[in-house]
Structure 1
Amino acid sequence: MNDQHNPYDPYQPQPQIIGYDAYGQPVYQQQAQAQAPQQPAYDPYAGGQQAYGYDPYAQPQAPQQPSYDTYQGGQPQGGYAQPSYDPYDPYGGAGGAGGAGQQWQAAEPAAPVSAPAGVPGQRPAPEPPTAPTAPGAPRRPEPDAEADEAKEYRTEQFSFIEEPDEDSEDVIDWLKFTESRSERREEARRRGRNRVIALVVVLVLAAVGGVGYLWSAGLLPGTGDSEKQGPNAVTGPQQRDTIVLHLHDLKGGGTSTALLVDNSTTKQGTTVLLPNALAVADTEGSATTLGKSVEEDGSSGTREALDTLLGAKIAGTWRLDTPYLENLVEYLGGIEVDTDTAVPDPKAKAGADPLVPKGEQQTLNGRAAVAYATHRASGEAEAKQLQRFGQVVNGMLRKMPSDASNAAAAIEYLQQIADPSLPEKDLAASLAKLADHAKTGAYKTALLPVAEDGSLAEGAGDSVVKDILGGKVTALDAGGVPRVSIKDGTGEDAVEAAKIVLINGGYAFVGGTKADSRAKSEVVYGDDAQKATAVEVAKTLGLPEGSVTKGKPAGTAAVTVVLGRDYEIPGAS
């Protein structure tokens, strides 16, 4: 009889089918017991964990699929082995490469792969329980702990993280060096851009400021009257500092007077030469000459007389005697002057060389400078001597220090008695400013034009008084007294009598001159505000009100009286 089981024999006991092999053939209980591999029994209450992990090349190990025993201790009831189910077998049969004879295994979810030991931030995954074996099969030996540890990663395999070697430190240092060098280059480029921007802004502001200054000063082409008036023309009020200089000739006698004007607005210096014949009013209001006023009224009275006549504010007086001029020139180391004549040396014998030779760029010491400044040949006009005096003053200013402290040292060296109106410190400051103009060529000399009778010549008010001195004809002087001048056209000497009448009437007499003979007298005023003053002057002199007319007064006078033959001289028979 064939012992092989026939599944279609109804009289033969049918064994229980416990599964299917990989080819779909049924697997019976006896066959499965003969072929099933021995697996250790699984105790659901034992809590055993299946060992698994990673190989050294990071390939995950497939976990062992456990077989579950429904009975404690791994002994099934009735001799039947509880089948295990393979969740990966699509046919529900026994999985595995061996086909038939593989015991069914229960499906178990894949356990998460545990991280290698020693890696921070990762927790190990729990090991799955050991699968039970079929009844009667021997248990599989427990996995070797050393083998399991060999399959896991050890901390020394990650030494490149926890224990950096020298090469890694070199790499870090190189990265830091590269980063710092890049930052320095970027910072240098940024500073360079900032400097360029700042320079451009400064240049733009300077250009705009320069153009604005030229425009405001009227020096740009097509703006204002700069082309007509020249580069130094300035409109509006100007700041001037004026002092009067008196040179006293202690040997030859006489004085020479000049006004030193510093115009800080136009940055121009000027020496205005004043002839001694200039008619001024003395302290009592009487007519006198400038030369007499210096000798009789002194520095203070002469300064006030010039201030009244010219309408210019004079800050102070510098009295310079000839010995002090000689010492000052010696202190400065001599001066250079273009001399117009030779001046003989009075102490030398006849035929000796002159003290001052004639020619350009002549170097003069102290004695020569004094001799040239005071020299006036016989029959020579006073204006020629004043021109020489102006040359010496100009040469002296060119050698004077431009610093106020050094200029003060030069003035103190003279040990002269300073005028109370102009202390040495203020005088040195004024001379330093004038010296700066003289050294830069912004200095000139002008002669105040005076008529034969000592009055201001026609046009003097515009060319010198107004333009250089900044004088202006006003109705009243500083004391509130109207200034009146006289032109005598009577054919007789009527100036002195008319002057006395005006002074007694409370007016300031500022000079009288001769005029061509005329029949009718006139009282001329320039400003409408002076019309009432002109009417009062006419009444004071006994002239009719109809003689008052609007015109241009002479010089700086508010009112000019032109006497005609109709004027009755007081006291005349």
Structure 2
Amino acid sequence: MNDQQHPYDPYYPQPQIIGYDEYGQPVYQQPQAPQQGQGQHYDPYGGQQQQPQQGYGYDPYGGQQQPQQPQQGSPYDPYGQQQGYAYPSYDTGQQWAAPAEPAPAPATQAAPVTPAAPVAAPAGVPGQRPASERSAPARQAGGDDDRDYRTEQFSFIEEPDEDSEDVIDWLKFTESRSERREEARRRGRNRVVALVVVLVLAVAGGVGYLWSAGKLPGSSEAEQKGNAATGPQKRDTIVVHLHDLKNGGTSTALLVNNATTRQGTTVLLPNSVVVADEEGSVTTLGKSVEDDGAGGTREAIGNLLGTRITGTWRLDTPYLENLVETVSGIETDTDTDVPGAKKGADPLVRKGEKQTLNGRAAVAYATYRAPGEAEAKQLQRFGQVMYGVLRKISSDPEAATVTIQTLQQILDPSLPEKDLAASLARLAEHAKIGDHKTALLPVGADGALTEDAGGSVVKDILGGKVTAPEAGEVTRVSIRDGSGKGATETARIVLINGGYAFVGGAEAPTRETSQVLYADDAQKATAAEVAKTLGLPATAVTKGEPSNAAAVTVVLGQDYKPQGPR
């Protein structure tokens, strides 16, 4: 062992705490450097044991003590690197004894240590004790205030503070209370929204049910169609002529699609109905089809009924047979047996309900008329076949066009394939749901339209009342003969020569005075001209209800005297 003890001896006593600084950290006693000239050194093994003297270092093993003198202004050295501050070496076989109090320094060498004034801790440091509760650390006299401290020398002691815990509890309480209030408001808003949605759905469902059940005012189908019928209506009308190439003769019907009321109608026209040709000559519908062709007949029917016909569909019996076969047959209720082509053969069509007819059977049933049977019966069978065909044709215009093209028939230029298919598709849509009916045009024995025809067919189905003729259009005039003289034919000739279109005549009860009736005020002047043409007084002109589709109706009385036009 060297006389000079190693400064890092682990058995050297630790420095003594003499106080706390303003940050609450311990302050240790400054070690005293050995006096120069002293030849004695610290002996940790007790080679020389002397009593400690004032001013000398402490020797826990009885070695010679070296005098220690505190040096003023020396910095604090916690690792014992200053001269004279040595630690004993570590020895596991020797028990360490607590060091005794160091001897106080002589009064002549060091000034007394005075405690430093307490410094208040910075405000707002969490867990730090208030300055009033901490003891001020003592400083050595003459110590240097400008010490060089390092960050590892400081540590903060977390101490619970009752006041801070109370504040935290209050913040937690207020925060949880605010959250509960916000959650309650949110639940309340959600309940209100849910209630409103339920009420809206309930009202909508109730209205929808009442509407579908037709219990709301004006919501039933009949009321809707009735309301639509009172206003302007959009109609599409085509005329169909069925030509029987085997037995001869024709059958005529009007296919009417009312887009406003969503109703389809087949109007059957007897061949005996009286129409006026292009020159104003009176003829029957059957003769007009044979003589005047499609265009002339179409105009004659339009003038008679006061309606606009968009096109003509000539349907010969071979094409009707192909059409029924294309749609895979039809089903209808038959009212009679139709015999086969050969005598004694089974009936081609049997009487009964829901009879299935192929193309050949459909043609036979549509054209069959028993001996002595009225023409109306045959027309009704023709209407049944057309209704069965409409139920089987596709309601898609493109698919219906393909069906018409399959027939490879030559159509009238007024009705090309696409237009015909579009009309049939709209009618098929009504027929599939039962919104299609068949009506027979009422005609008297003389071929003139009856009074019922004006209301049931002309007004309701074909377009309502007769309006004023357009510029250049011939005025339509009808006659009711109540003279008792059979003057209808004479009056008809006079009117045609006068430039009017005769649209039918009928017998009427005998009356004394004649009348010239008009419905539209725009026809008042025309009615006066008609009265003058027939030699009737101006007082005979009166506002009333013309018959059928006529703009003016002449009711002949016993005062009528046949004469030429004036």
Distance 1:384 1:209, change over 3 A: same
Distance 1:41 1:546, change over 3 A: same
* 1:105 paired to 2:138: no
2:265 aligned partner: 270
Contact kept, 8 Å, 1:475 with 1:483, in 2: the verdict is no
Distance 1:40 1:220, change over 3 A: farther
* 1:338 paired to 2:354: no
Aligned ranges for residues 100-179 of structure 1 at < 5 Å?
A: 105-106=141-142, 114-116=150-152
1:527 aligned partner: 520
1:87 aligned partner: 115
CA positional deviation for 1:88: 5.1
C-alpha distance in 2 between matches for 1:109 and 1:225:
103
Q: Secondary structure at the match of 2:444?
A: coil
Distance 1:86 1:528, change over 3 A: same
Equivalent residue in structure 2 for 1:291, among 286, 290, 295: 286
1:390 aligned partner: 383
2:54 aligned partner: 34
Q: Secondary structure at the match of 1:391?
A: helix
Distance 1:427 1:89, change over 3 A: closer
Equivalent residue in structure 1 for 2:217, among 223, 226, 229: 223
1:492 aligned partner: 485
Q: Which amino acid aligns with 1:462?
A: G
Contact kept, 8 Å, 1:520 with 1:566, in 2: the verdict is yes
C-alpha distance in 1 between matches for 2:422 and 2:392:
15
* 1:450 paired to 2:443: yes
Contact kept, 8 Å, 2:271 with 2:284, in 1: the verdict is yes
C-alpha distance in 2 between matches for 1:417 and 1:401:
21
C-alpha distance in 1 between matches for 2:439 and 2:367:
18
Task: Describe the superposition over 1:140-184 as per-residue Cα deviations: whole angstroms up to 9, x where unpaired.
Answer: xxxxxxxxxxx9xxxxxxxxxxxxxxxxxxxxxxxxxxxxxxxxx
CA positional deviation for 1:290: 1.4
Distance 1:423 1:210, change over 3 A: farther
2:433 aligned partner: 440
Aligned ranges for residues 472-551 of structure 1 at < 5 Å?
A: 472-477=465-470, 479-551=472-544
CA positional deviation for 1:83: 0.3
Q: Which amino acid aligns with 1:562?
A: V
* Matched residues, number: 422
Contact kept, 8 Å, 1:262 with 1:268, in 2: the verdict is yes
Q: Secondary structure at the match of 1:417?
A: coil
Task: Describe the superposition over 1:227-281 as per-residue Cα deviations: whole angstroms up to 9, x where unpaired.
Answer: 9x55643322232221111101112111111111122233222111111122222
Aligned ranges for residues 246-395 of structure 1 at < 5 Å?
A: 246-346=241-341, 348-350=342-344, 352-395=345-388
CA positional deviation for 1:299: 0.9
Contact kept, 8 Å, 2:479 with 2:553, in 1: the verdict is yes
C-alpha distance in 1 between matches for 2:355 and 2:150:
113
Dislocated runs of 4+, deviation >6 Å: 35-38, 107-113
CA positional deviation for 1:394: 0.9
Q: Which amino acid aligns with 2:54?
A: A
C-alpha distance in 2 between matches for 1:225 and 1:546:
49
C-alpha distance in 2 between matches for 1:279 and 1:213:
49
C-alpha distance in 1 between matches for 2:564 and 2:463:
41
CA positional deviation for 1:105: 3.1
CA positional deviation for 1:528: 2.8
2:237 aligned partner: 242
C-alpha distance in 2 between matches for 1:115 and 1:104:
22
1:560 aligned partner: 553
Aligned ranges for residues 42-53 of structure 1 at < 5 Å?
A: 42=71, 44=73, 48=75, 50-51=77-78
Contact kept, 8 Å, 2:494 with 2:564, in 1: the verdict is no
Task: Describe the superposition over 1:203-241 as per-residue Cα deviations: whole angstroms up to 9, x where unpaired.
Answer: 8599499769959xxx964635959x5564332223222
C-alpha distance in 2 between matches for 1:274 and 1:266:
23
1:58 aligned partner: none
Q: Secondary structure at the match of 2:302?
A: helix
Task: Describe the superposition over 1:37-57 as per-residue Cα deviations: whole angstroms up to 9, x where unpaired.
Answer: 76665465x7x45448xxxxx
C-alpha distance in 2 between matches for 1:205 and 1:480:
58
Q: Which amino acid aligns with 1:391?
A: Q
Identical-pair percentage: 62
C-alpha distance in 2 between matches for 1:515 and 1:455:
12
Task: Describe the superposition over 1:1-55 as per-residue Cα deviations: whole angstroms up to 9, x where unpaired.
Answer: xxxxxxxxxxxxxxxxxxxxxxxxxxxxxxxx937876665465x7x45448xxx
Q: Which amino acid aligns with 2:404?
A: I
Distance 1:326 1:89, change over 3 A: closer
* 1:460 paired to 2:453: yes
C-alpha distance in 1 between matches for 2:393 and 2:434:
14
C-alpha distance in 1 between matches for 2:239 and 2:148:
114
Contact kept, 8 Å, 1:477 with 1:483, in 2: the verdict is no
1:14 aligned partner: none
C-alpha distance in 2 between matches for 1:103 and 1:571:
155
CA positional deviation for 1:80: 2.9
CA positional deviation for 1:558: 1.4
Q: Which amino acid aligns with 2:379?
A: L
C-alpha distance in 1 between matches for 2:444 and 2:219:
32
Contact kept, 8 Å, 1:311 with 1:556, in 2: the verdict is yes
C-alpha distance in 2 between matches for 1:271 and 1:103:
126
Distance 1:238 1:103, change over 3 A: closer
Return the TM-score normalized by structure 2. Answer: 0.66
Contact kept, 8 Å, 1:453 with 1:514, in 2: the verdict is no
C-alpha distance in 2 between matches for 1:210 and 1:274:
45
C-alpha distance in 1 between matches for 2:343 and 2:497:
58
Distance 1:84 1:311, change over 3 A: farther
Q: Which amino acid aligns with 1:105?
A: A
Q: Secondary structure at the match of 1:389?
A: helix
Q: Which runs of 5+ in 1 are unaligned?
A: 1-32, 53-68, 70-75, 91-101, 117-123, 126-150, 152-192
C-alpha distance in 2 between matches for 1:234 and 1:388:
32
